[in-house]
Amino acid sequence: MALIPSRGGFIPTSLTDWLTGQDVDRMSRYRAMLDFYNGQQWERRRRAGETRLTANYARALVRKTASYVLSEPPSFSIAPSAADGVSEQLADAVETRLNDLALEQDWGTLDFDTMVDAAVLGDGAFKITWDPDTSQPVITSVDPSGLWAWTRPDNIRAVTRVVQRYELSAPDAYDLFGVPARGSGAIMGSGSVPVVEDWRADRMIVEVGGEEVHDEPNPYGWIPYVIFPNVARPHELWGESDLTDLIDICRELNRRLSVVARILQVSGNPIAVLENVTGSDGIRADEGAVWELPEGSRAYLLDMLASGGVRLHIDYIDALYRALYDLAETPRTAFGDSGRNVSGAALEVEIQPLVQKVMRKRRVWDAVYRQRNAKVLDLLERFGGETIGGVRRTSVVWGSVLPSDRSALVSDEVQLVGARIHSRRTAMNLLGDVDQERELGLVLEEEDEFSRRGSGHDDVG
């Protein structure tokens, strides 16, 4: 049993029961945003025979932004530090180990999926644990709808407790947690079983099926979660979805597109209008049909596209598109179509809102990567026995946001380095060279070798 705070003090109950009524508004918001992202964007049910279109720009814009943020999987660098006792050789070795682990475990795909999930729900989370079977750290993406977190009153970023709730099949729960005899009957039954993990820096508690099965010291000494907002809300731990400002625009766009679709549908199956005719037997708007009408009557087809009425709908749809692109900070140019011939500099200015949005997201993920990498390195040193030397600080090397002309960039950097405006390290960083120290060492080694050959002191061969 867990002690749950209440107005009258603390009451004993299971965490599984207590979590059911906690943070209801946040959970409802998650469900609504996820449904909208999956295409459930109409507020009422479809009527019989109703034409209804759903242009799911919500999904397209979220994926587009994530693709720009993670234009390529980021890499990590570690700088030597005399103050921290991190030599150049140690920094290079740990940096190589971390980047190799990222490639081996495919962190790039994991991060992209989590970034999309966070953009939709408003929050993201990773769990970092040690797998004794593989002797490797394991990073998993956690559904924030199964997380509850508490922070220090004076620091919203300092998480002091995290509770995770998820479901397992009954046999899996029994095998994983080794439930004692008192709970074995419930666990070995059919269906799924709720599992709750309660983590503090010094302690961890596990409940399975409402029964406490573990209460022991935290083996890591820190809470193995990194929780982050998609877009931070002032003075709040939980963030905001990218879809918040797009919902009304997307719904109106769906309605207008459906109206135009209905108009075109009717115009493609024309309506025959008869005047001064008492009956319509035998009159059909078929190809080659011959109608016999009484004297003084007339017939014509109703033109739904006359007088430019549809043009008003098209103009309104174009206005909705402009509003959608502005609110999403994703100009039409990001989809590969600027609609006109403009220079490269003009295109960069046009896509600048998306670049600024990407940089905001990357600042959030800089902090995520720093926390996550520190936990991974701690696990490698403490449980894997690897020579990490206390290294915990890392920095992120991001890919270019926009496609660039590499040959032009190389030419520019050659001139800047030659004019001693840029250093070689700066040029290497701009060109995306991760292991700058190693590459610079090879360059200097080659220069020394060429110098010896040119002076006639080369004794090789």
pLDDT over threshold 90, residue 309: no
- Whole-model pTM over 0.75: yes
pLDDT digits (tens, 9 = 90+) for 414-457: 888 888 887 777 777 767 665 666 777 777 788 787 777 766 55
pLDDT over threshold 90, residue 205: yes
> What backbone phi and psi angles, to 5 degrees, belong to 460?
-80, 130
What local confidence, expressed as pLDDT, does residue 305 receive?
Answer: 61
pLDDT over threshold 50, residue 400: yes
What local confidence, expressed as pLDDT, does residue 210 receive?
Answer: 84
How far is it, in rounded angstroms, from Cα 251 to Cα 306? 27
pLDDT over threshold 70, residue 162: yes
- pLDDT higher for 28 or 334? 28
**Mean pLDDT comparison of 7-11, 101-105, 280-284, 443-447, highest-scoring range:** 101-105
Mutual angle of helices 309-328 and 57-69, in 10-degree steps:
30
What local confidence, expressed as pLDDT, does residue 181 receive?
Answer: 37
Side chain identity at residue 89, one-letter code: Q
- pLDDT higher for 227 or 336? 227
What local confidence, expressed as pLDDT, does residue 227 receive?
Answer: 97
How far is it, in rounded angstroms, from Cα 306 to Cα 294? 28
Note the helical H segments in 38-87: 57-69
String of DSSP letters for 314-380: HHHHHHHHHHHHHHHT--GGGGT--SS---HHHHHHHTHHHHHHHHHHHHHHHHHHHHHHHHHHHHH
pLDDT digits (tens, 9 = 90+) for 101-115: 999 999 999 999 999
How far is it, in rounded angstroms, from Cα 165 to Cα 179? 17
What local confidence, expressed as pLDDT, does residue 187 receive?
Answer: 45
Grade residue 461 by pLDDT with cuts at 50, 70 and 90. very low
Mean pLDDT over each residue of the chain, to the nearest integer: 83
Side chain identity at residue 193, one-letter code: V
